[in-house]
Chains A and B, each alone.
Chain A
Amino acid sequence: MQNLTLLDGQKFQITIQRLCRQLIENHNDFSGSVIIGIQPRGIYLAKRVAEELRKILPGHTIEQGDLDITFYRDDFRRRESQLLPNQTKINFIIEGKKVIMMDDVLWTGRTIRAAMDAMLAFGRPEKVELLALVDRRYSRHLPVAADYVGIEVDSIASQKVVVSWKETDGEDKIVLVSDAK
């Protein structure tokens, strides 16, 4: 196994900060906007971004929820292992809001397709945007593009991009993992 660290430490933090500033450019004080993290790994990104935004915009409410997409995936009954659901926690109304969906890695785009279906079960947002911490370029299976991107990565299908978080894994880090064959 070969690991290549793409981003960590202070640079990781600067990237999160930049994404927050870009969000504020388009969403001002977030009064009509909400953040939704995609289960299982996108919720850490969403939590971190929401936390940073609260620091930058004190006194403003930043709504942030978790969205599980298991029941909307297109590979149910097409894989060997069982797909088990996670919790969905959206304690606010998305009808008429600007929704920013967040996931750690954007790869084939299939997760985002499922997430849009899952989210629309909660209402009709005014607008939906996508923020991805890592964009694995040129590997899309569906016509999906992110509005905000942390870093862009060129990778091949056998490689994996793993994002670790301080809160759960002890360290902020983005690693490109290649199987040595």
Chain B
Amino acid sequence: MAGLSTRHLLGIKDLNRDDIELIFETADTFKSVLNRPIKKVPSLRDVTIANIFFENSTRTRLSFELAEKRLSADVVNFAASSSSVSKGETLIDTVNNILAMKVDMVVMRHPYAGAGIFLSKHVKAQIVNAGDGAHEHPTQALLDAYSIREKYGDVAGKKIVIVGDILHSRVALSNILCLKHLGAEVMVCGPTTLIPKYIGSLGVKVEHNLLKALNWCDVANMLRIQLERQDIKYFPSLREYTMLYGLNKQILDSLDKEITVMHPGPINRGVEITSDVADSKQSIILDQVENGVAIRMAVLYLLAGQTPA
């Protein structure tokens, strides 16, 4: 049977539609495994995975670690802040030292775009990108699309608007690529300064008015303002941003249809989304987190299964 077309998961860009469907179907079975009394299968018991995080993360790291443990893989965790990276070691040296301890796969988050691609060309292990700078975050996009598929049955033909800091968001790029692959219509919405100039070349609509965007869509994916990546001021104040692009109950109730609200986390409550919206029936934020484990299990299982020992 055919597996994935790629040996690493570096970005959605490298996947085709069949790959995505395969990951979803495999995730379906893992989701049923996660609802059993014993939530663990022994598939990856002879695989060792290193989670290398050069950037902070809660959800993604925990989600990967749980996925790995539920597949019975051996897991080592590494956070750059407590490592020799601060002593001046290069990325390739760091990873090769970890691989010398017989590690088969590397899950990496890095602040620079393309770090995963670079690594995949220089080391032997299979690489899973857990976010590289403002470039891609493939497993997040997969779990977002999977959650939409779960809610609506299909992604094709659905209208999804991604609201917020598109310029600095790896979630936005991966989401756009993934949703377009699956035949969805995608719109981005935010202040002009936070929308990349050539975003239209990806085949997405651009809208600067939140209310118009929400009236158009079936699903709104609200992104966080990535202040840590903004070296200059892109808008006058956070308060003004919230007034123009924050999603609150009042706007949501003024729409003539019930849209679904998503957020990749971490949420800045009261900035891009208010608490009553984040915790409302229309929000599937916690379903996204739940699906994240199943999606990551599927990705790791499909990648690990490629290598005949």
| A interface with B by C-beta (< 8 Å) | 68, 70-72, 76-88, 117, 120-123
Contacts and interface: CB of A to CB of B under 8 A. Distances in A.
Q: Return the 8 tightest CB-CB contacts between A and B, nearest first.
A: A82-B3, A71-B41, A121-B38, A85-B29, A71-B43, A84-B1, A82-B305, A77-B309
Contact of B29 (A72, A79, A87, A120): A87
B32 A77 contact: no
6 contacts: A70-B29, A71-B41, A72-B43, A77-B305, A82-B1, A84-B1
A87 B27 CA distance: 11
Given A77-B304, A79-B308, A122 B37 contact: yes
Nearest to B104: A77
Contacts of A76: 43-44, 304-305
Nearest to A74: B42
Contact of B308 (A71, A77, A88): A77
Given A82-B1, A85-B29, A123-B37, A71 B309 contact: no
Nearest to B40: A121
B267 interface: no
Of A71, A72, A88, most buried by chain B (CB within 10 Å of CB) is A71
B32 A78 contact: no
A86 B43 CA distance: 14
B16 to A, nearest CB: 15
Interface residues of B, number: 30
B32 A80 contact: no
B46 A77 contact: yes
Given A122-B36, A123-B37, A78 B42 contact: no
A87 B32 CA distance: 9
B308 A82 contact: no
Contacts of B46: 77
Interface in B63-122: 71
Contacts of A78: 308-309
B232 interface: no
Interface in B165-214: none
B102 to A, nearest CB: 14
A167 B40 CA distance: 34
Interface of B: 1-4, 22, 25-26, 28-29, 32-33, 36-38, 40-44, 46-47, 71, 301-302, 304-309
Nearest to B42: A72
A71 B305 contact: no
A176 B160 CA distance: 54
B86 to A, nearest CB: 36
A121 B37 contact: yes
Contacts of A82: 1-4, 302, 305-306
A149 B206 CA distance: 66
Given A71-B41, A84-B3, 7 more contacts: A79-B308, A81-B1, A82-B2, A84-B26, A85-B26, A85-B29, A121-B36
Nearest to A117: B42
Contacts of B36: 121-122
B296 to A, nearest CB: 15
B180 to A, nearest CB: 26
Nearest to A121: B38
Nearest to A72: B42
A131 B123 CA distance: 49
B243 to A, nearest CB: 48
Contacts of B2: 82
B58 to A, nearest CB: 28
Contacts of A81: 1, 3
A83 B37 contact: no
Contacts of A79: 308
Nearest to B32: A88
Nearest to A114: B42
Nearest to B26: A85
A79 to B, nearest CB: 6
Contacts of A80: 308
A83 B44 CA distance: 13
B67 to A, nearest CB: 13
B71 to A, nearest CB: 8
A83 B307 CA distance: 11
B72 to A, nearest CB: 9
B305 A68 contact: no
Of B25, B44, B46, B308, most buried by chain A (CB within 10 Å of CB) is B308
A70 B26 CA distance: 11
